[in-house]
Amino acid sequence: MSLDEEQAEGFAAGPPQGEMSPLGGQRPAQRRSVGAEGFAAGPPQGETSPLGGQRPAQRRSVGAIIVDLDGTMVDTLGDFVAALNHTLDDLRLPPVDRALVERSVGKGSEHLVRTVLDHQLALPELMVAGAVALDWPREQLDALALERYQHHYLFINGQYADVYPGVIEGLQRLRSLGLPLACLTNKPFSFAQTLLEIKGLNGFFSQVFGGDSFERKKPDPLPLIRTCEALGSLPPHTLMVGDSENDGRAARAAGCPVVLVTYGYNHGQPVTGAPHDGLIDSLTELPAWLGA
């Protein structure tokens, strides 16, 4: 590939770090380049990939960013717990604890409700008491539970949720860089849009997509691919920012670079084990990671 072709593709020009310059001496270590395509992403040259091996020396530019919602921008665990416990009370089932909910969020409302029901219906005290819910056909119980959950969540949405520290400042800095932003979540679109409005975050995003916006949810790559299309950005030039393995796997499959925050949910597992190109403790660190 010629130098002109490399620059057109958004890769940093010049020999790899430490290579001898044709004019003598060594090249200085290159930062992620700034160009028409945006800020070059990816880990530093030679950094070990969490999936094994080393990243290639070339760096892909970032022209747009996709940001997850729950666990990345807003701590919504309190909303989930409240809505679920109202739902369980409707079904005459015992309340759920926060730890179980934290391990179960991230794959959409249907998965969350079904996982909580599985756990609560298997409680020994419930089996002994002979709860009425045990006699229901499971398919009907799942449908009723989801309907009640969505009913309660509609009124609870945002009441027990807090924007994580650094989120607003980080989004402001990203916007000042001229990078188009999209929010992509597995939360139903109507709930996501309302939450963004309640928390004053909706103005940062040109596109918002929920778990019911496409045929499949993360970790399937389809939502990321469609969001890239909506942003007018190719996957290799579109950074995914999330908090879980769902985000990492979806980004890898879609061909997007991915940065994960360290404070999210990730199904109760350390996020270090999820596919990623970088880890940050706050969204305020993202511009520096981009080299801005």
If you write DSSP's letter for every residue of 90-143 in order, what string do you get? HTT-PPPPHHHHHHHTTS-HHHHHHHHHHHHHT-HHHHHHT-GGGGS-HHHHHH
CA distances from 51 to 61, 167, 252, 275, 286 (A): 21, 28, 10, 7, 22
Question: Residue 247 and residue 67: Cα distance in Å, rounded?
Answer: 9
What does the block give as tokens for 260? Answer: 């994960």
Mean pLDDT of 1-14: 37
* Catalytic choice (4, 68, 162, 212): 68
Active site residue 68: yes
- Average confidence score pLDDT of the chain: 83
Mean pLDDT of 218-225: 98
pLDDT at residue 47, as a whole number: 42
What does the block give as tokens for 269? Answer: 């597992």
Residue 292, pLDDT above cutoff 50:
yes
pLDDT at residue 127, as a whole number: 66
